[in-house]
Structure 1
Amino acid sequence: MEISSLQKARYEYQPKLPAALDSAISDIRVELGDPTESVADQDQVKSLFPHSYGAPIAVFASGKGKTSQNPLRVGVILSGGQAPGGHNVITGLYDGLKKANSQSNLVGFLGGPSGLMDNDFIVFDDAKIDAFRNTGGFDIIGSGRTKIETDEQFAAALNTAKEQKLDAVVVIGGDDSNTNAALLAEYFKDNGTDIQVIGVPKTIDGDLKNEYIETSFGFDTAVKTYSELIGNIMRDANSAKKYWHFIKLMGRSASHIALEAALQTHPNVAIISEEVAEKKKSLNQIVEEIANVVRHRSDNGENFGIALIPEGLIEFIPEMKTLISELNDLLAHDEKYFATLKSFEDQAEFAVSKLSDHSAKVFSSLPRGIRQQLLLDRDPHGNVQVSLIDTEKLLIEMVGELLAQWKAQGNFSGSFKALAHFFGYEGRCAFPSNFDADYTYSLGYTAFLLIANGLTGYLSSVRNLDKPASEWVAGGIPLTMMMNMEQRHGKMKPVIRKALVELDGAPFKEFSSKRDDWAKNTRYFFPGAIQYYGPAEVCDQPTITLKLERSGK
């Protein structure tokens, strides 16, 4: 494989570690706190995790410890969608293992959790690891979205772990993947094995976080990548002065990416899904709000603008949420019959006949293209694939229609030409920022330390992230601590609770205090490309969201 000059240079970058970890293995000790409990549904979660529930928070500190330096054989899995920095989690884990004992081995399971069940693997060596240091992507071993759910799948995973003589398995993934890691840790214990399971928090969506997981890795790089692109479009819009750009941003369950991108670039409109749900805004209300911004800017001679749209918005609009829920249930219940309907007209007619009167009216009022997208195949969890729904195009069409009505009534005299964009895959495999390169390497190294100290059912944690890396605090939190019970496929199941944008939190308050000004005036901010070399204030800064959350301002 040919490599760029930047990739060659990034191979030489040495990720920074917390001071407590940047020493001899024998000089790192673990401090265990008080017993913990889940964020909700404590009795139910405890009953499902009798072996791992209530474990204490772990923190690594300088000092003589009992970290094992015996040879270990550890397996690692990349699970779910890609996120910048995944390779550095693996290199940090590998380096920790080898520093403690050169005879230790790291086994990479190919293609995600299915690789563990099928015993499809490689054993890492220095050459393989060195070729992927500080690079984007998950191509070192590939990823997958297979979930370990059935008794047969859990048994297959255990058989592979035994056949490989593994001491531990590390699962690098988001909330669903780490819920799976917790279940796997409990299953191993329940079957009398000492094989440990450690999770690592990954998702560019930013919705896997709490007091101890201040951000999930990849969010920093992805949102900075999107913000560079948004800034480029802003410069173009302000140059041509004739287009509105509606930009949909990845993030299904939470609007963290849209919020951070807004803080970084100052768009004229930025919709936050959680606020839409809180205020029970209808689709027509959202359209009218955008149209009013367009009209106001047009009155000032500015027939251009930028609107940021979170990918999952449509599921937060009350009438659309109800419609999608009914469609999900309908398509799950009548899946076989629905598959026999070959034309969209037949599918739509069947759907309308089964929906409630209100949802049928909402469905029928939508543009044909959106109705078709709402009836597409569901994801593995039985949910509508929101990334395939052109919400940005729906808003463009509806805003355009409303402005045309206003123009006919003499209430709008400007022009409205709009272009649609979707930024998602562009950010998932970018070269990790220095922050993400350091953070992920530290997470991988911490995962090794959790294993070497005999812990299982933990999520690798690195905190104090608004400070220089030397001041970061490494440790682990019990996966059960992040859980509650939610309904999935008609059954109550333990899951890690997603972290949505908090409307009383510092990042949203900062955005809310500025958005009226940004709507009326052109205050575009151009963050530029991610920088890897130069002063720390240019190269090593975390996101605005993280700094505001940590400062509490």
Structure 2
Amino acid sequence: MKISPLQKARYEYSPKLPGMLRNGISEICVKEGEETQSVADQEAIKALFPNTYGKKEITFERGENTSAPKKQVVGVILSGGQAPGGHNVICGLYDALKATNPDNELFGFKNGPSGLIDDDYLVFDDKYIDEYRNTGGFDIIGSGRTKLETQEQFAIAADVCKKHGITAIVIIGGDDSNTNAAVLAEYFAANNTGVQVIGCPKTIDGDLKNEDIEISFGFDTATKTYSEVIGNIERDANSAKKYWHFIKVMGRSASHVALECALETQPNICLISEEVAAKKMSLSQIADYIADSVEKRAAKGMNFGVAIIPEGVVEFVPEFSALIAEINELLAGAKADAFNALPTWAEKYEFIKNGLTKESFEVFDILPQGIQQQLFLERDPHGNVQVSLIESEKLFSALVADKLAQRKAAGTYTGKFNPLHHFFGYEGRCAFPSNFDADYCYSLGYNAFMLIQYGYTGYLSKISNLSNPASEWVAGGMPITKMMNIERRHGEDKPVIKKALVELDGKPFKFFEANRDQWAEETCYVYPGAIQYYGPAEVCDLTTRTLALEQE
């Protein structure tokens, strides 16, 4: 197989481990902390997890290893969307497992949680693992979005583990995947299967974090990848001086990616969904906010700019959320068939006009026709609008164009507005992991095995103190139930890991807020350039601006 020089060099990179994990397996001991409770709904979560709730947080330290020696057969699953560094979690897990006992085995269940249910797996060896060290993607075993949530699934999983003598399962995923890990751990414990379950925090969206989980893996690499290209676009905009670039980035439920990219590149505009919701901003207000920047820059002869748009921002606009709710009701049941049977858009438009409230139709009517049609053509399996598919970057540029046309007619605006559109999403999910993510993920995997070796279950692998050099990182674990609350999902109360939204009183947003007015009017672009893997540590091992500001 032909490989690039960079890929060959990355195979040979040795990830850095936290100091206490470098001492050798025999010199790692456990320090237990306080008992924990869930972030909310304590009684309800405790009732659902009687065997795994309230466990103590733990930290690994230098000292005599007191774990009971036994052969470990571990299964690993990649769950959900890809994130840079996933391969290194598996490599770290494999290396720790083999360093403890060469007879230990690591099973990789293929294509996500369904691999465990279908008993579809491979057994890792050195040759196979070595081809994936420090590389991006999830192609080492594939991923999937199957949820482990029914008693039937749990029973099958227990049988598969028993068949292979598996002693532990490691699930690498985001908030939903680690919720599944906690539920599976509870089932295994309640049924005395002897199988442990450990989770690892993954998502490029950055919304799996709290006081214990400082950052989810993949966020560093993905945002650096997007920021490189945004910086390139800024440079091009400042060179051509004739285009406004509207750039949508991933982040449906939270705006961490958009905020981090803004901190890295200092664009003219960056919308933060959480602020839109807090201020109850309308589409018109958002369009005016962007148009103000366009007008002020045009007055200085700068008919160009860059605006970053989080993919889920429209869901945070109260009037748009109300519109979506009405559309979902409008097309419920047989009414959807009646709507779809109408032969022309004009007839469908009248159907919509007659079916919506006056307020929601006024919102609908200001949307570009292409966006209007997207709301009715793209449905999820439950018949609801797939908001994440809305081209919000095109929506806002069209609304801004309308605002500028009004201002031009009123004589207050004389500039030119030529918008271009981009969506950066999949480009960042499988990039070569940055040194930070390569090190962090390897440590998460190595640490996950130490949790297994010491008998913990229902825990998340935890590496902290991450804004400092890797030698000062702290390894340990926290019960997954600590992060949980009860939320309404599909008409039922469900235990889920609470998503972390951008905190409007947090240091990263406050820094952005203090500088954005200047960025909106002046050209203050920063060009981060490509991720650097070899060279000075201050260049190659940089953490995100978000994490650096949070831990100042």
Q: TM-score range by the shorter chain?
A: over 0.9
Deviation at 1:404, TM superposition (A): 1.0
Q: Are positions 1:440 and 2:463 aligned together?
A: no
RMSD of aligned C-alpha atoms? 1.8
- Higher mean displacement: 383-392 or 496-505: 383-392
Report the equivalent of 1:458: 459
Deviation readout 1:288-323 (Å, 9 max, x if unpaired): 010010000000000000001011101111111222
Contact 2:76 2:172 in 1 (8 A): yes
| CA distance in structure 2 between the aligned counterparts of 1:152 and 1:388, rounded to whole angstroms | 33
Fraction of identical pairs, as percent: 64
CA shift for structure 1 position 372: 2.3
Give 1:405 shift. Answer: 1.4
Contact 1:382 1:489 in 2 (8 A): no
Give the secondary structure class of the aligned counterpart of 1:96: helix
1:452 CA displacement: 0.6
Deviations 1:67-107 (CA, angstroms, capped at 9, x unpaired):
34422111111000000000000000000100000001110
**2:551 match: secondary structure:** helix
TM-score normalised according to structure 1 size: 0.96
Cα distance in 2 for partners of 1:84, 1:284 equals 37
Q: Which residue of structure 1 lines up, in the alignment, with residue 54 of structure 2?
A: 54
Counterpart residue number, 2:103: 103
1:215-364 matches, cutoff 5 A: 215-328=215-328, 337=337, 341=341, 345=345, 354-364=355-365
Q: Which residue of 2 aligns with 1:370?
A: 371
1:175 aligns with 2:185: no
Q: Relative to 1, partners in 2 of residues 1:454 and 1:342: Cα closer, same or farther, differing over 3 Å?
A: farther
* 1:122-159 per-position Cα deviation (integer Å, ceiling 9, x unaligned): 11110110000000000000001111222322222222
Displacement of 1:34: 1.5
Matched, 1:520 2:506: no
Map 1:182-221; keep pairs closer than 5 Å: 182-221=182-221
For the residues of structure 1 that align with 2:432 and 2:281, how far apart are their CA atoms? Answer: 38
Is 2:535 aligned against 1:534? yes
CA positional deviation for 1:462: 0.3
Question: Which whole-Å CA distance do the structure 1 matches of 2:97 and 2:263 have between them?
Answer: 40
Kindly tell me the number of residue pairs found equivalent between the two proteins: 551
Alpha-carbon contact 2:158-2:193 (below 8 Å) kept: no
Q: Take 2:376 and 2:69, find their aligned partners in 1: how far apart are those partners?
A: 55
- Could you tell me whether the CA contact under 8 Å between 1:531 and 1:539 is conserved in 2? yes
Instruction: Please name the residue that 2:476 is paired with.
Output: 475
* Paired residue secondary structure (1:442): helix
Contact 1:341 1:347 in 2 (8 A): no
Question: Does the residue aligned with 1:429 lie in a helix, a strand or coil?
Answer: coil
Distance (Å, rounded) in 2 between the aligned partners of 1:12 and 1:210: 33
TM-score normalised according to structure 2 size = 0.96
State how far apart, in whole Å, the 2-side matches of 1:510 and 1:484 are.
30
Cα distance in 1 between the residues matched to 2:70 and 2:501: 41
Contact 2:249 2:310 in 1 (8 A): yes
Match of 1:546 in 2: 547
1:26 and 1:67 in contact (8 A); partners too = no
State the AA in 2 paired with 1:31: K
Q: CA offset at residue 547 of structure 1?
A: 0.7
Q: 1:243·1:416 contact (CA, 8 Å) conserved in 2?
A: yes
Which moved further from structure 2: 148-157 or 419-428? 148-157
Matched to 1:426, the amino acid is E
Is the 1:71–1:102 contact (alpha carbons within 8 Å) kept by the matching residues of 2? no
Contact 2:217 2:440 (C-alpha < 8 Å) held by counterparts: yes
Three-state SS of the structure 2 residue aligned to 1:20 is helix
Equivalents in 1 of 2:119, 2:209: separation in Å?
A: 31
1:29 counterpart residue number: 29
The gaps in structure 2 that reach 5 residues or longer are: none
Match of 1:146 in 2: 146
What is the distance in 2 between the residues matched to 1:125 and 1:488? 41
